[in-house]
Structure 1
Amino acid sequence: MKFSPERSHAVLTAAFCLAIALLFSGSGAPPGEALAANATIPAEDAAAKGLRAVDGGAGFYGGFENPLPATPDYFPLGVWLESVLEPGDIEMDKSVGLNTYVNLTANSNTALLQPGGVHAVTSEPSPWSSGLVLADEPDMWAGPGSSKWTGKWPGQGEVCNPAGVPCGYSVQRKLSAAIADGTMTYANYGKGVSFWETDEEASVFVNEFQDVVSVDNYWFTDPNICGQGEGGGRLGGGRNLTDLECRLGANYGWTVDRVRSLVRPAGSKPVWAFVELGHPAGEAKAPTITGPQIRAAVWSSLIHGARGIVYFNHSFGGPCQSFHILREACGDEIRPWVTSVNQQITALAPVLNAPFLDGALTRTAGVDTAVKVLDGDLYIFAGSAQAQAQHAELTLGCLRGADFTAAVLDEDRTVHVSNGTIRDTFKDGNAVHLYRINGAAASCLP
């Protein structure tokens, strides 16, 4: 099958996306469907109590031909549309903790992947690929519908026949039908699935074409995402979001939740998360993401159940434009942050692949949390869900009446767990704390 490089995010300029938004705005979900990430929320988690496996199950990837690793020590840390032309390219990417390529450029030499010790999900079939990528963001450029696809990509002319009648389902249906049984498929979607389409329309994209799915919302850098026609429509009750509400790491977790809420049966397939690096918007006035923001976005995604991270490695605007941010000088400021968070994730991969313990923890409003169980220990991942500094309380009811000490991972400190409660400070919207309570799982398991 033939895939076109026009699928990359480069062709989806702000003007084009705005036009598609206006075209499909009549099919959006009612405004105010979700609370803003920094709104007041009940302290008690609503989740049913008990162990919950990661989406798709821990061994999901092992069910395909030439699979991604299904071992507990593998967690996908990918980069979008990067090139591999020589072994040194792989070594540079591994040095920042990447282990997976997603949608390699057409001129890449995939024969370098296996000796390089990395994995890839590619657009073109390859003996060294662990899956194939379908069209990128057809929910935006082709829309939710089954009219005929002309075979053209954005910028090549009319993509649907009749013109203006959505054909995004046809795009993915045609591409996926050409892929051999047993091959893992992956697709990424955009603002159609997250903002503009009804649940019924968006769920077709999420469920019917690929085995692994993601949505890219660039909350820290997109110049339009805070508006009432996009993020404001979902998180702001139909109004524009303020910067404090919009430019928030917790909103990346909201995106993961949005996609996971559409998966049927619930929890049956992995949802990966997209996080931008640099300045992906063409407008100079748009923000450039910072290292602390990258870490906050990544951990919010993981707290909300993402089973992989994909970095968007291109800057189309701003002071330093690049298609290889992590390899070039454009990435000097953020590279240490990306390296650090990737090392942290790799070290915690067995925990991230272990079950969640739902309903065990109550928390102060303004903090997002997840509880994990591995080898008798409890792990609490906590990230700020509001821009302002706060003093938070995280309480495990199952530990009431006992005192423990929790290690705060990679912070060289511990906190006292008094009567089941951790008290800690989150200094801003990018604050993340990861706690391990040794030997406490037995008291909390159902």
Structure 2
Amino acid sequence: MRRTGRRGRRAWVGGAMAMVFCAALACSGCIESAKSDSVPAALDLPTVPWEGGPSYWNSFAKAKAGGWADPSFFPIVAWYDSVSSPEEAAFDKSLGINTYIGMPETLDSSLLDDAGMFWIGGKLNDSFTSNTRSWVGYFLDDEVDGRYSPAEGRDHLAALRKEMPKGLFGFANFTSMILENDMSPTDAQKYVNGFTDVISVDKYWYTIPQCSLTPYRNPFLVPIAQAECRTASSYGRTIDALRQRDAVDGKLQPVWAFVENMAGINDPEAFKTYITPEQLEGAVMNSIIHEARGILYFNQSLAGPCQSANVFRSAETTRSFCGNPQVAAVKAVDTIVHQLAPVINTQSFVWNFGPGLDTMLKAEGGYAYVFAMTSAGSAPGSRDFQLPSQIAGRQIEVVNESRSLSADSLGRFTDSFDRESAFHIYKVKISP
């Protein structure tokens, strides 16, 4: 039975579920971490298991030819957008969008080729050929687990996979059912590991009605308390849970994160709220801290007072559009992601910086980078950090904030987070 707020493939609406995944270090014994030249030797610490970073895309001829293996490339996807002119493509690109899923059949692929944008989907018309540079991936289907029985859904995906043109990677999005205890682990694992090269789950924590239900139902692999349901941390734990499912077969694939740019609900009676600009930025960053390899924006607002079938296009064409603050937040956080893509695209290190923190540690170009937010269930405020002993630098740049901090002789420093969705990125020299 489909749940309130679910969207079919054609309805363009969202919903999905998440929970906490076992720590990355716990999986390091069951998965051999992929090696990459981009992994620095400067930090003698355990590494977080990954699928290989940018080098993963070398296995797919079209993605490789399109530059997806470049460490400076990070996929940011508009879900069901439309492009009918170079100006529209340029506007989306100015927001940090570089990829589309879902387009009208009238789309001329040369628009995407000329704009340096990419398409994940089927052959829309005769302009799409094996030589279309922008056509890098194949969209298998959306929320199959919510529309079929497990056996029927697997047969459906297997048939679609057989139709996939050579050279493309296969992508599918699922509901949160594959991350819940209501579905058998065997069925969920077969969905996740049987058909795709890239995978996502949609769960719009800030705007779905589920977080407000009384009584609150909690069917997650690792529980999320109701008090922390509408927080950025829930988006990161969706990634964790999907990683847990994905790890079962001993191979990893890129996991992408869905974030609503307005709301993820299409039922007017179930509508609660829109995501705020600060929450949007926090949801994206927490997903990346939890090793998301791509971001997808649910680009429709189908309930509440600020509706649009294409939020990005409404922002382009209407100066007074009520969703403009959220679209500005998309641009702001995407700018940071693209700026730091060569860092984000390296393999992360395992390190506990201190209590009440949710962090990701990277090293690139002689610097360590610490991406930090407050952990789930902890109040905003001051946090104490402990740098690994391998990091000898003591002057810390707070990236994009025009300020710096100093660590003491033991590598300790303190900073503050004014809300649960706040994040800071610290840059410090590894050598003194």
Q: Tell whether the 8 Å contact from 1:79 to 1:310 is kept in structure 2 after alignment.
A: yes
> Which residue number corresponds to residue 105 of structure 1?
104
**Cα distance, 1:91 vs. partner?**
1.1
Q: Tell whether the 8 Å contact from 1:361 to 1:371 is kept in structure 2 after alignment.
A: no
Number of residue pairs the alignment of both structures matches: 388
Q: Give the whole-Å Cα distance in 1 for the aligned partners of 2:217 and 2:253.
A: 25
**Cα distance, 1:65 vs. partner?**
2.5
2:243 is the counterpart of 1:260: yes
User: Residue type of the partner of 1:346?
Assistant: H
SS where residue 361 of structure 1 aligns?
A: coil
> Which residue number corresponds to residue 345 of structure 1?
337
> Which residue number corresponds to residue 165 of structure 2?
180
> Which residue number corresponds to residue 362 of structure 1?
353
Q: Which runs of 5+ in 1 are unaligned?
A: 22-28, 36-40, 147-166
Deviations 1:56-104 (A, max 9, x none): 4321112213214210110001110111222122011011111111233
**Aligned pair in 2 of structure 1 residues 179, 398: CA closer, same or farther (>3 Å)?**
same
**Cα distance, 1:342 vs. partner?**
0.6
Q: Give the whole-Å Cα distance in 2 for the aligned partners of 1:95 and 1:183.
A: 26
2:199 is the counterpart of 1:213: yes
Deviations 1:368-391 (A, max 9, x none): 101001111100001122463221
Deviations 1:212-231 (A, max 9, x none): 00111100011125659987
SS where residue 320 of structure 1 aligns?
A: coil
Q: Tell whether the 8 Å contact from 2:12 to 2:80 is kept in structure 1 after alignment.
A: no
Q: Give the whole-Å Cα distance in 1 for the aligned partners of 2:222 and 2:190.
A: 25
SS where residue 66 of structure 1 aligns?
A: helix
2:198 is the counterpart of 1:202: no
**Aligned pair in 2 of structure 1 residues 168, 227: CA closer, same or farther (>3 Å)?**
farther
**Cα distance, 1:357 vs. partner?**
1.4
Map 1:40-439 onto structure 2 (within 5 A): 49-52=45-48, 54-67=50-63, 68=66, 69-124=68-123, 126-127=128-129, 128=132, 129-144=135-150, 146=151, 167-195=152-180, 196-225=182-211, 232-234=218-220, 237=223, 241-242=225-226, 244-264=227-247, 265-266=249-250, 268-281=252-265, 282-283=267-268, 285-328=271-314, 329-358=321-350, 360-365=351-356, 367-385=357-375, 386=377, 388-399=379-390, 404-418=394-408, 419-438=410-429
Q: Give the whole-Å Cα distance in 1 for the aligned partners of 2:293 and 2:344.
A: 8
Deviations 1:130-152 (A, max 9, x none): 011011001111132x2xxxxxx
Q: Give the whole-Å Cα distance in 1 for the aligned partners of 2:186 and 2:229.
A: 26
Q: Give the whole-Å Cα distance in 2 for the aligned partners of 1:215 and 1:298.
A: 14
| TM-score, structure 2 normalization | 0.82
User: Residue type of the partner of 1:201?
Assistant: D
Q: Which moved more, 1:121-130 or 1:403-412?
A: 121-130
Q: Tell whether the 8 Å contact from 1:399 to 1:420 is kept in structure 2 after alignment.
A: no
Q: Which moved more, 1:271-280 or 1:60-69?
A: 60-69
> Which residue number corresponds to residue 3 of structure 2?
none
**Aligned pair in 2 of structure 1 residues 387, 82: CA closer, same or farther (>3 Å)?**
farther
Q: Give the whole-Å Cα distance in 2 for the aligned partners of 1:383 and 1:259.
A: 21
**Aligned pair in 2 of structure 1 residues 46, 207: CA closer, same or farther (>3 Å)?**
closer
> Which residue number corresponds to residue 26 of structure 1?
none
Q: Tell whether the 8 Å contact from 2:179 to 2:221 is kept in structure 1 after alignment.
A: no
| TM-score, structure 1 normalization | 0.79
SS where residue 398 of structure 1 aligns?
A: coil
Q: Which moved more, 1:70-79 or 1:325-334?
A: 325-334
Deviations 1:282-322 (A, max 9, x none): 23542110100001100110000000001001000011111
Q: Which moved more, 1:90-99 or 1:190-199?
A: 190-199
**Aligned pair in 2 of structure 1 residues 10, 271: CA closer, same or farther (>3 Å)?**
same
Q: Give the whole-Å Cα distance in 1 for the aligned partners of 2:101 and 2:371.
A: 27
SS where residue 7 of structure 1 aligns?
A: coil
**Aligned pair in 2 of structure 1 residues 46, 297: CA closer, same or farther (>3 Å)?**
same
Q: Tell whether the 8 Å contact from 1:272 to 1:310 is kept in structure 2 after alignment.
A: yes
Q: Give the whole-Å Cα distance in 2 for the aligned partners of 1:428 and 1:267.
A: 36
Identity of aligned residues (%): 29
User: Residue type of the partner of 1:172?
Assistant: L
Q: Give the whole-Å Cα distance in 2 for the aligned partners of 1:51 and 1:96.
A: 32
SS where residue 327 of structure 1 aligns?
A: helix
Q: CA RMSD in A?
A: 3.0
SS where residue 280 of structure 1 aligns?
A: coil
Q: Give the whole-Å Cα distance in 2 for the aligned partners of 1:301 and 1:324.
A: 23
Q: Tell whether the 8 Å contact from 1:82 to 1:324 is kept in structure 2 after alignment.
A: yes
User: Residue type of the partner of 2:153?
Assistant: G
Q: Give the whole-Å Cα distance in 2 for the aligned partners of 1:11 and 1:143.
A: 21
SS where residue 220 of structure 2 aligns?
A: helix
**Aligned pair in 2 of structure 1 residues 347, 230: CA closer, same or farther (>3 Å)?**
farther
> Which residue number corresponds to residue 155 of structure 1?
none
User: Residue type of the partner of 1:206?
Assistant: V
User: Residue type of the partner of 1:409?
Assistant: V
